[in-house]
Amino acid sequence: MARELSPRRRATLTTAAWTIGFLIFFPVLWTFLTSFKTEGEAIAIPPSFLFFDWTLENYSEVQERSNYLRHAMNSVIIAFGSTFLGLLVAIPAAWSMAFSPTKSTRGILMWMLSTKMLPPVGALVPIYLICRDLGLLDTRSALVVILMLMNLPIIVWMLFTYFREIPGDILEAARMDGASLRKEITYVLVPMAVPGIASTLLLNVILAWNEAFWTLNLTADDAAPLSAFIASYSSPEGLFWAKLSAASTLAIAPILVLGWFSQKQLVRGLTFGAVK
């Protein structure tokens, strides 16, 4: 809405918005800054905001102490693995519901969504025992499968809302012009479906990356992704704020950047099309 405002009023509102935005963002900025301090400076009162001896030591120490890269790799494998697996199952399902809807399509979609609303804690005991009995505790495979199942309803839903917007007439037209099924898929369907699939992938990688119920409960060390590994910094002995900050910065930076690119998809994916 481009309403007219007096310059002074506009300046006031701008100042207010920037101040609030800065305050909300501040914990992230503070974590970033602290990650370049020494442990002594990190807990110093009064704190120094910019004028301290910047050091990269924390980043190398985080790696040496706890093999940070392995946990980061676990995060990558679990987040992308569960998302790809989910897409593999969800694309055909969403496709068929969007293009050949039947009487039961609406019911199936609503039911899928309802499974997302079961609280994870209701499944904790059986899933834990199944993983224990199959020797899958603290393995990446278990988390890939569980996070895939957990996010499957969201993936199907998002894809469905995107696919539904692809006009069926275009397919008809392509066929009229003599396109074979293969050409129809390669030149017409895929180009129109790819943006929706990419958005879905993005949002689900973010959700899986930050997941912290199953990762905390089903991993100990070997398979722990960053969301579970960071929890080891909650031990009360000693304050390692600079190292905590370095580990945290590395864990949130990539996903924050991805998230900034996915604002629109976020609204769409998390409200199931109820807010546009």
Burial 208-222 (b: 16+ CB within 10 A, else e): bbbbeebbeebbeee
Smallest distance, another protein to C-beta of residue 271, A? 5
**Residue 249 · residue 31 · CB < 8 Å:** yes
Smallest distance, another protein to C-beta of residue 56, A? 19
Smallest distance, another protein to C-beta of residue 67, A? 18
Q: Quick one: 140 or 243, whose CB is closer to another protein?
A: 243
Alpha-carbon gap, residue 200 to 156, rounded angstroms: 9
Q: Quick one: 195 or 273, whose CB is closer to another protein?
A: 273
Q: Quick one: 141 or 217, whose CB is closer to another protein?
A: 217
Q: Is 212 helix (H, G, I), strand (E, B) or coil?
A: coil
Helix, strand, coil percent content, the chain, rounded in steps of 5: 75, 0, 25
Q: Quick one: 77 or 255, whose CB is closer to another protein?
A: 255
In Å, what is the CA distance from 40 to each residue of 27, 58, 105, 238, 245? 19, 12, 60, 12, 13
The end-to-end CA distance of the chain, in Å, is 16
Which residues contact residue 197 at a Cβ distance below 8 angstroms, ignoring those fewer than 6 apart? 87, 91, 159, 162
Smallest distance, another protein to C-beta of residue 183, A? 14
* Residue listed under structure tokens 């293969």: 182
Packing angle of the helix pair 190-210, 263-270 (nearest 10 deg): 80
* Residue listed under structure tokens 């009229």: 176
Q: Quick one: 26 or 54, whose CB is closer to another protein?
A: 26
Smallest distance, another protein to C-beta of residue 60, A? 20
Q: Quick one: 47 or 195, whose CB is closer to another protein?
A: 47
Q: Quick one: 76 or 266, whose CB is closer to another protein?
A: 266
Smallest distance, another protein to C-beta of residue 42, A? 8
Smallest distance, another protein to C-beta of residue 275, A? 5
